[in-house]
Amino acid sequence: MAASGATGPHLIDRMPACRGRLSADAPLAPVTWFRVGGPAEVMFRPADADDLAEFLAQLPAEVPVTVIGVASNLLVRDGGIPGVTIRLGRGFTGIAAEGDTVTVGAAALDLNVATVARDAGIAGLEFLSGIPGTIGGALRMNGGAYGRETADVLVSAQAVGRDGRRLAFDHAGMGFTYRHAAAPADCIFTGATLRGEPGNPLEIARRMAEISSKRADSQPIRSRTGGSTFKNPDGHKAWELIDKAGCRGLSIGDAQVSEKHCNFLINQGAASAADLEALGEEVRRRVFETSGVTLEWEIKRVGIPAGDTQ
């Protein structure tokens, strides 16, 4: 990465003062679900939203910023991520239920939010238990599962802009569409308020158990995977198009299209990010060739290929 070198100064030397944690050349493969990818040139874990805002306000504008959550729907390329990678931690995991609403930090796990809502007798958030990620990712991608999506329950969201300004979005301001939010791409979500409806905790728990069982039966959840690889095109299911294109079980190196659910890619052990991305592109090519439909990646791909410099 051009911003740092073995003999020259490292980007971390240009970082603003902060209360959180800064680290240079932080390994990312161990934290991604695929277990692949190069390091973050600089990793920043802010202490809280104020720390994040102050850091971004002072960070030179030319330094690129990438945000990751629990990396459950993320493919980090083998050359790593140039610039600053921000990962929200403990200061952003709060969950508080009151009435029929739940106020949450962006780093709160979706499953934990559903569990707190269940215990408080708030129905309508059970679908979150089927999304293996954080609220920040759900906001950015309008995450959904089992018939519901984030747009159905969001009241408001808070964020910090790339320039350090504090931002607030109501439901309309998020501009939700299928697996997408129109909020500025460079803002970093810090929290949200979600609304459900009064419900019986036992009925809510039963619904969550059904979701958990369906996931275990239909998805390769015990494999090194990254969740749904492609968005469902209008009028189609991605997995059906992939299956009809003969891609179930297709492999490149140790990267494989799951036999169990063919909209999932799997690292069978020694796959590189390049293998996984190449496999995904081959699937897209074959699906277009057989159906005329262009699949759109749902997994977020970040960073640079091995050997590239910026």
Please tell me which residue in 251, 282, 298, 301 is annotated as part of the active site.
298
Nearest to 64 by CA among 221, 224, 186, 146: 186
Q: How many residues does the chain have?
A: 310
Residue 298 catalytic?
yes
> What six digits make up the tokens of 77?
């390329």
Residue 263 backbone dihedrals phi, psi, to 5 degrees = -100, 20
Among 145, 146, 142, 148, CA closest to 192? 142
What are the beta bridge partners of residue 174? none
Q: Which of 179, 248, 285, 301 is catalytic?
A: 179
CB 88 within 8 A of CB 97: no
DSSP designation for 222:
T
* Active-site residue flag, 215: no
Q: Within 10 A of 41 (CB to CB), how many other CB atoms are there?
A: 26
> 96 — phi, psi (to 5°)?
-135, 125
Residue closest to 226 by CA, chosen among 288, 302, 151: 302
Cβ–Cβ under 8 Å, residues 297 and 291: no
State which H helix or E strand residue 277 sits in.
helix 273-291
223 catalytic per annotation? no
Name the nearest CA neighbour of 61 among 139, 133, 161. 161
**Residues whose CB is less than 8 angstroms from the CB of residue 185 and which lie 6 or more positions away in sequence, other chains included:** none
The CA-atom distances, in angstroms, between 291 and each of 236, 239, 244, 251 are 11, 13, 9, 21
Burial of 86 (0-12, 13-18, 19+ CB in 10 A): buried
Q: Which of 129, 228, 258, 272 is catalytic?
A: 228
Residues designated as active site: 179, 228, 298
